[in-house]
Amino acid sequence: MTSAEETDYLVIGAGATAMAFVDTLLSESEATITIVDRRYRAGGHWNDAYTFVGLHQPSAFYGVPSRELGDGVKDETGPNAGFYSLSSGPEVVAYFDAVMRQRFLPSRRVRFLSMCDFVGREGSVAEVVSLTSGEKRSIRARRFVDGTLAQTHIPATHPPKYDVARDVTLIPLNDLPSLKRAYANYTVIGSGKTGIDACLWLLQNDVPPDRIRWIMPQDAWWLDRAFFQPGVEFFDQSIGSNCEQFDCIAEATSIEDLFCRLETGGLLHRLDEAVEPTSYRCAVVSIGEREQLRRIANVVRLGRVRAISGDRLAMEKGTLPSDPDTLYIDCSASAITPPPNVPVFDGDTINLLMLRACQPTFSGAVIGFVEARFIDPAEKNALCDPVPSPERPLDWLTMWGATLRNLGRWAANPEVRAWMAGCRLNPINAFLRGINPSDAEKGQMLQAMREKSARAAQQIPALLASRS
């Protein structure tokens, strides 16, 4: 039997989160790192995404710490006009590929085993199998880093869970740009980020809204992109919106009252003000995009689709007739899967979990820093308390609760605080870009935000306990 290859860290998955972890570990340690991925290129699920996918948050604080993403230019037209342009899927993939080729591999401390499956391990030796040659290799590692926990699902890689008759035309949204003819009706199945993207794409490509039917199993609360913009020009609204969110938490008398305050303040919004959302998935939607989506009047709220036949659409709560010349667009794959209930630092395994609400790459970078700089597992886990996955509206609050706990611990630790002050993935640094440090007015706003966040953190347990 051949002896095992050696590495300090074996990282399973070269998705965005793992890339941020490795980038930080490279900067903060002398470790050797082997990355294994089934895909041929870094970037994880972005490799399979539809061509018109884009980040829904500004690129100023997405990616890896050592390299900027995006062109720093604002959109002048379209529903994102006035805001920083959103990196497209192909840009995101090219970015991670460049990070791998221009930073990781030249460091000579990173090895990338692409097109390789991590099959399992016995003790400290992992088995990895090449998906092209079939070659098996044994790799001995000090630490195993699980970068697969997001289990990101997209329609192109996850077939629908409902029955589809043979005479029905159903495509994943990846195939929309390849359409060869017009259809009498377009039915979009799914209410998440991909469903939103499919509807916007159809509208932007001249499909009249009255020929679009949107199957909406769940309405969701959305975040407003206006409040995530980097730089001095948006400072008041980005920091101000944080202050207002903390005020809403501190002053709310019940969960219902909280969401009422958040909506009145424009901090959360939704497709239809008459329909109570039952979901929250961190989707970021601009008001311009929402106004486009509201042009679609035929929104069907009869639960999930069960079966599609030539002239019928069967859902959990009813059946509707369908024009036989309908193009069905599947957007039903759930992008977010709740991770298992495990700690980040678990013996010789490091689980890449979310540490700050809706910020997977920043979270990966924080875990990399803590791993490189701290030794005691209890102290490391105390600095890296996982934030729950977003599913229900209440998760907006539980995520803030866990995020504020982590922010408090990071601020109290001088080493972590100093690193965070320079980490480009830290959202606050994006908001502070271009700010003169001696600007007293901005300094007061930041101080007010800190005080308000402390008040909010105190109120969250009582608010959660008030649930009827």
Ligand X SMILES: Cc1cc2nc3c(=O)[nH]c(=O)nc-3n(C[C@H](O)[C@H](O)[C@H](O)COP(=O)(O)OP(=O)(O)OC[C@H]3O[C@@H](n4cnc5c(N)ncnc54)[C@H](O)[C@@H]3O)c2cc1C
For binding to ligand X (CB under 6 A), which residues are involved? 12-18, 36-39, 44-45, 49, 53, 55-57, 62, 117-118, 147-148, 150, 152, 154, 193-194, 335, 359-360
Q: Are 310 and 254 in contact (CB under 8 A)?
A: no
Q: Judge contact between 385 and 402, C-beta under 8 A.
A: yes
Q: How far is the CB of 282 from ligand X (least distance, A)?
A: 8
Closest approach of ligand X to the CB of residue 281, in Å: 10
159 to each of 155, 300, 316, how far by Cα in Å? 6, 21, 19
**277-155-59 Cα angle (round to 5):** 75
Whichever of 154 and 168 has its CB closer to ligand X, that residue is 154
Choice between 168 and 216, CB closer to ligand X: 216
CA distance readout (Å), 116 to 40, 73, 200: 8, 37, 36
Helix, strand, or coil here: 141?
strand
Q: Which residue in 367, 424, 423 sits closest to 149, CA to CA?
A: 367
Q: Contact 235/447 with Cβ under 8 angstroms? A: no
Shorter beta-carbon distance to ligand X: residue 268 or 335:
335
Smallest gap from Cβ 44 to ligand X, in A, equals: 2
Q: How far is CA 419 from CA 26, 185, 203, 416, 424, in A?
A: 14, 53, 44, 5, 10
Cβ burial of 383 (10 Å; 0-12, 13-18, 19+) is buried
Give min distance, CB of 84 to ligand X, in A.
12
Kindly state the smallest distance separating residue 41's Cβ from ligand X, in Å.
9
Provide the minimum distance between the beta carbon of 63 and ligand X in the complex, in angstroms, as a whole number: 10
- 248 or 333: CB nearest ligand X: 333
Tokens, residue 347 = 């013996």
Selection from 206, 213, 158, 210 nearest residue 329 by Cα: 213
Smallest gap from Cβ 130 to ligand X, in A, equals 11
The distance of closest approach from Cβ of residue 152 to ligand X in the complex, given in angstroms and rounded to an integer, is 4
In angstroms, the CA 185 to CA 197 distance is 17
Judge whether 334 and 153 are in contact, CB under 8 Å: yes
- In the complex with ligand X, the residue whose CB is nearer, 62 or 144, is 62
Specify the residue, 27 or 157, whose C-beta has the smaller distance to ligand X.
157
How far apart (Å, rounded) are the C-alpha atoms in residues 79 and 287? 8
Q: In the bound complex, what is the minimum distance in angstroms from residue 21's beta carbon to ligand X? A: 9
DSSP 8-state class, residue 325: T
From the CB of 433, what's the least distance to ligand X, in Å? Answer: 18
Output 45 or 103, the one with its CB closest to ligand X: 45
CA distance 236 to 242: 10
DSSP annotation of 389 reads: P
CA distance linking residue 278 with residue 392, whole number of Å: 6
- Least distance CB 456 / ligand X (angstroms): 22
Considering the complex, state which of residue 147 and residue 401 has its C-beta at the smaller distance from ligand X: 147
3-class SS of residue 200: helix
User: Do 425 and 65 meet the contact criterion of CB atoms below 8 Å apart?
Assistant: yes
- 16 or 60: CB nearest ligand X: 16
Nearer to ligand X, 113 or 300 (CB): 113
Nearer to ligand X by Cβ, of 159 and 461: the residue is 159
Spatial separation of the C-alpha atoms in residues 419 and 401, rounded to whole Å: 23
